[in-house]
Chain A
């Protein structure tokens, strides 16, 4: 199988990886080895395994760095390699994973909205009465277990995982937040009034969570939509994670001066 074929296989399987292609040479024969030719390819998988070569060891190393960065930011981009070599880093990533911790009243709305947006929602709640398949037909998986066991069942929390902590029960929320803060999660949101947040902050500090880590918690969770119903609350949370994923603030476009679509340079 060719490297293009292997990349297509990753796409079919909702896998993660980068296919780097030499698309241009600024000054052929200089800098990078003369074996470098347009069309040369290097495939990097999420576990770091590499296949193929761009024709030069230094170029392969630079390409691998770009590949590993972009497969997690989930953007395909042109990059310049050593010796004026133009590289296209094509990225494939699975749909983003959204862990909804707490099968609360509006959690089914949030789960459905995540699915409709093309995300993969996972619902976690140790209270089996709430975490039932009937309530969450859109869930990729429902895990009725305590956070440590649940996150282990989900294969850990990676850099492309978004977590909303919603139970309102301090012993459940704190356990989930402590684990989430120890991970590379892309986003950690938590419900709660400002007063509840202050109390949570004290508890987490007392439990040994470093102070600088607490700033990673997005609380109160969601964008300021002023919604009142459960579905509107779910929309506000979903809107926030979409904005965070694309690096936007989430304001109104009619008030914005920046670009509507984030495009590469």
Chain B
């Protein structure tokens, strides 16, 4: 979490609302361990990551919903299916990501 705090502090200091996405579960070779975080500000800034680039885009979309007043969400990402163009992890892992508002 330390890797994102400086940016998150700056966003909250200027009055932005912030969403926090946290890796809560992993299976097989997931790129980042449980506890890894990505923060998203309402003005579109992003800090940190949950997967090394594979699912960050999809997580950011959910984070925007949460920032618009949506309920916290538990997301699951499985192995990427290249033919279906689904969002997933090419490395063959699976991750669960919890997305919620961050209140300083």
Contacts and interface: CB of A to CB of B under 8 A. Distances in A.
Interface of A: 1-2, 4-5, 7-8, 11-12, 21, 23-24, 38-39, 75-78, 86, 88, 90-92, 259-261, 263-265
B12 to A, nearest CB: 9
Contacts of B103: 2, 4-5
A150 B56 CA distance: 48
Contacts, number: 73
Nearest to A39: B72
Q: How large is the interface on B (under 10, 10 to 19, 20 to 34, 35 or more residues)?
A: 20 to 34
B65 interface: no
30 contacts: A2-B103, A4-B20, A5-B103, A5-B104, A8-B1, A8-B8, A8-B104, A11-B5, A12-B2, A23-B24, A23-B72, A23-B74, A23-B98, A24-B74, A39-B72, A76-B33, A76-B35, A77-B34, A78-B34, A88-B24, A88-B34, A91-B35, A92-B1, A263-B26, A263-B28, A263-B30, A263-B33, A263-B34, A263-B93, A264-B33
Nearest to A8: B5
B25 A264 contact: yes
Contacts of A24: 74
Contact of B34 (A21, A39, A264): A264
Given A4-B104, A39-B72, A261-B33, 16 more contacts: A2-B103, A4-B102, A4-B103, A5-B104, A11-B2, A23-B72, A38-B74, A39-B71, A76-B34, A90-B35, A259-B28, A263-B29, A263-B34, A264-B26, A264-B34, A265-B25
A243 to B, nearest CB: 17
A263 to B, nearest CB: 4
A231 B72 CA distance: 50
